[in-house]
Chains A and B, each alone.
Chain A
C-alpha cells in the first residue's frame, strides 16, 4: 500500500501548465527527494499534497492525488483534517512572533486542545524529538526570534510535528542554514523517517543522496525519472537526469 500516489496529475496556474501528467507512488516511512532546476514545478507539486495550492487564485488540478488510498481532491474532503495529517516546513524558518513554547503549542491550541498538562507534555516531547530540548529548555518563554536560524528551523519542524501528522513536506528546509545546522536537520530527517513519510525538495544533490530513499527528477513540469536514490546517483537511466546531477545542464 502506498502512502502517497499521484495519478496523471496536471496543474495549471491560469492558462500556464506547471505540471504535466505526473505519476508517482511513495511508500510509507520513506524519504523522497524532489530535484530539478528552479521553476520545474517541485514546490507546486509538493503543495498539492496538503492542498496549499488551493489558496492560490485561478489554479486548476487534473488527475488524482491519493493519500492512504483516498483522493484528497474528492468532494467533501475536510481540508483542515488533511493539513493535520500533512505537515509542512518551509525554506526560510518562519516561527511565529511568539514564545518558543507557544510556537509548538500553537497547532494544538488551533485544533481545540485546551488541557494544559497535555499541551506541556506534547510540546516537550516534540522539542526533544527534534533534538532541540537541551538548547531551549531554559528559555521556553523567550521569543522564538532569539534562536539561531538553524534552531528556528528545527523549532518549525517541531511545530509541524506537534499535531502528529503522518506526512511531512519540506521545501528546501536547509537552504538558509549553515553546514552544522544543515547536518542536524539532515540527521533529524533520517530519524523521523521511522514515524513519518517525508517528501523534501532540495537543490543540494549531496543532500538528496544523503537523506532520501527515492529521488524524483523534474524538468519543465515533467517527471523525467523516479527511482531509488542510489540508482539515480550511480546509474541514472535518462541522459537528462545524468546531465543535471553531474552539473552538465546546458
Chain B
C-alpha cells in the first residue's frame, strides 16, 4: 500500500470514530430528554469537547494530505468529502449539546405527553437512524444506502411542518403552561437540522464514490463491486 493510501485509510478511520461519537452524543441526548435525566445531559455537554477535538484533528489531517500529497481524482474527492462531512458532524455534535442544555433547563414537571403528540420521539429515532445509515454508507461505499437518506429526510421535514399546529392547539388548551411546548419546538427544529446534516453527508458520499463509476469499465467489472 502506498504512503498516501495509508494516510487516506487513517483519515477514514478517524472520520468513522468521530461519526460514532457524534451518534452516541445524539442518542445520549435522546435518553436524557425522554427521562429528563440532567446528569446524562451534563455528560453530553462534556462529550462535546471531544467532538470538537476530533474536528480539529480531522481538519488538520486533511490539510496535511492536501499539502504533502497533492491528491487528485478519487483521492481528491475523498479528502474533500471528508472535510465537509467533518464540518457536518461537528454541527450535529452542537445540536446534541443544545438538546442536552434544553434538558438541563427544563422543569422536571415537563408534560411528557408533549413528546408523544408532537412526534418528537419518532422524529428523533428517524434522525438517529439516518445518521447510522449514512455512516454505514460511508464505511461500505454504498451509494444506494446513502440515497435512502433523501426519503428519510422528507419524513422528518413532514413532522417538522406539522408540529406547528400541534403546538398551537396544545397552547390553546394549556394556556398556563406555555414554556415547555415552545422549548420543544426548538428541539424539533434541531432534529430537522440533524436530518439536513445527514442528507448533506449522503450527498458528499455520492459525490466521492459515484464519479468513481467509470464510464469505460465493462459491465462485468461494475457488477463485481
Determine if A246 and B74 form an interchain contact, defined as CB atoms under 8 angstroms apart: yes
Please report which residues of chain B, range 199-215, place their CB below 8 angstroms from some CB of chain A when the two chains form the complex: 211, 214-215
Determine if A239 and B70 form an interchain contact, defined as CB atoms under 8 angstroms apart: no
Q: How many residues of B contact A (CB 8 A)?
A: 15
Q: Say how far B187's CB is from chain A's closest CB, in angstroms.
A: 40
Determine if B215 and A237 form an interchain contact, defined as CB atoms under 8 angstroms apart: yes
Known pairs A206-B70, A235-B211, A239-B217; A248 contacts B2 (CB<8 A): yes
Determine if B72 and A233 form an interchain contact, defined as CB atoms under 8 angstroms apart: yes
Determine if B214 and A239 form an interchain contact, defined as CB atoms under 8 angstroms apart: yes
Please report which residues of chain B, range 63-111, place their CB below 8 angstroms from some CB of chain A when the two chains form the complex: 70-77
Determine if B214 and A245 form an interchain contact, defined as CB atoms under 8 angstroms apart: no
B216 at the interface (CB under 8 A from A): yes
A242 CB contact (under 8 Å) in B2, B4, B70, B73: B73
Determine if A234 and B2 form an interchain contact, defined as CB atoms under 8 angstroms apart: no
- State A248–B3 Cα separation when bound (angstroms): 11
Q: How many residues of A contact B (CB 8 A)?
A: 15
A140 at the interface (CB under 8 A from B): no
- State A5–B216 Cα separation when bound (angstroms): 24
Q: Say how far A242's CB is from chain B's closest CB, in angstroms.
A: 5
A107 at the interface (CB under 8 A from B): no
Determine if A237 and B214 form an interchain contact, defined as CB atoms under 8 angstroms apart: yes
Counting from the closest, the 8 A-B pairs by CB-CB distance are A235-B211, A233-B72, A237-B215, A239-B214, A242-B73, A238-B216, A245-B72, A246-B75
Give 17 new A-B contacts, CB below 8 A, not counting A205-B70, A234-B211, A246-B71.
Answer: A205-B72, A206-B70, A209-B72, A233-B73, A233-B76, A234-B72, A234-B77, A235-B77, A236-B214, A237-B215, A239-B214, A239-B217, A242-B73, A242-B214, A246-B4, A246-B73, A246-B74
